[in-house]
């Protein structure tokens, strides 16, 4: 089991949404230090003020995770200032919410940089210290969209599929070479934060942020390989594996209403 008590925890996109809730939960469970990366100075300051006001050790850094050079620079500063990170939660992500033909090249690049490439670069910086100590836990916030196509999410879906494939391969590599290192892939359905404002789901329940954060932290503590929510998400690979594609489209897309869930999407890129 991964111990949160006494741990140094780093969360990207940790100044709002489930990132902030996970940070608070880790501190309440006894984390020694919480390190937050975010691009929003105001939200970062507010989060740090709240955590420090409660007597916790929390530190914040303005980081655009799409800027690889700055990611590397900041990661190395953190290793010098705070020492090795015990639990790395790759949480930062964006969604544009358009049909593919409506995307710009810049939107494609940034979505893949933030949602996929950044996780690899960040992990590459903090993993050597974990390997050296034979202790560490990497958590990648992917999505149920990483297992199922969904109109108006093509680039987001692509980025999350990539995260799942990379995270699963990383887990196998680490398990074959080292002890005490863990990788958890998180595949939630829509979470009720501003990021997915406007989505509609008539059958599958939208996940409450507090519930999502609680389940992710529990998965870390129990070294779960996957954390999927709600329960129906665990059945998606089974349905996709046994049903002909058109039947699957009818079940998931029409009956469950997933393929029209983004029709009224408003959201924001956080």
CA nearest 85: which of 136, 30, 145? 136
Q: What is the spatial distance between Cα 206 and Cα 190, in angstroms, rounded to a whole number?
A: 5
> Would you call 59 a catalytic residue per the annotation?
no
Residue 18 CA to chain centroid, in angstroms? 9
Contact 167, 183 (CB under 8 A): yes
């599929």: which residue's tokens?
Answer: 161
Beta-bridge mates of residue 108: none
> Among residues 61, 156, 190, 248, which one is catalytic?
156
Instruction: Supply the residues annotated as catalytic.
Output: 156
């Amino acid at each position: 089991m991964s111990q949160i008590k006494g741990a140094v925890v780093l969360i990207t996109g940790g100044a709002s949404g489930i990132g902030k809730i996970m940070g608070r939960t880790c501190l309440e469970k006894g984390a020694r230090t919480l390190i937050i990366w975010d691009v929003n100075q105001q939200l970062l300051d507010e989060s740090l003020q709240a955590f420090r006001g409660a007597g916790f050790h929390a530190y914040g850094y303005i980081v655009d995770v799409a800027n690889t050079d700055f990611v590397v620079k900041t990661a190395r500063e953190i290793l010098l200032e705070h020492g090795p990170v015990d639990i790395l939660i790759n949480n930062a992500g964006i969604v544009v919410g358009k049909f593919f033909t409506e995307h710009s090249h810049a939107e494609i690049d940034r979505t893949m940089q933030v949602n996929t490439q950044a996780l690899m670069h960040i992990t590459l910086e903090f993993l050597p210290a974990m390997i050296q100590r034979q202790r560490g836990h990497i958590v990648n916030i992917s999505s149920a969209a990483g297992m199922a196509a969904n109109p108006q999410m093509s680039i987001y879906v692509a980025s999350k599929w990539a995260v799942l494939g990379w995270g699963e391969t990383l887990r196998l590599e680490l398990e074959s070479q080292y002890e005490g290192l863990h990788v958890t892939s998180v595949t939630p359905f829509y979470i009720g934060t501003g990021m997915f404002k406007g989505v509609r789901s008539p059958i599958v329940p939208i996940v409450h942020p507090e519930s999502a954060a609680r389940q992710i932290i529990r998965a870390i503590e129990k070294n779960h390989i996957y954390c999927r929510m709600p329960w129906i998400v665990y059945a998606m690979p089974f349905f996709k594996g046994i049903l002909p594609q058109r039947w699957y489209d009818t079940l998931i897309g029409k009956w469950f209403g997933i393929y029209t869930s983004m029709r009224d999407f408003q959201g924001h890129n956080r």
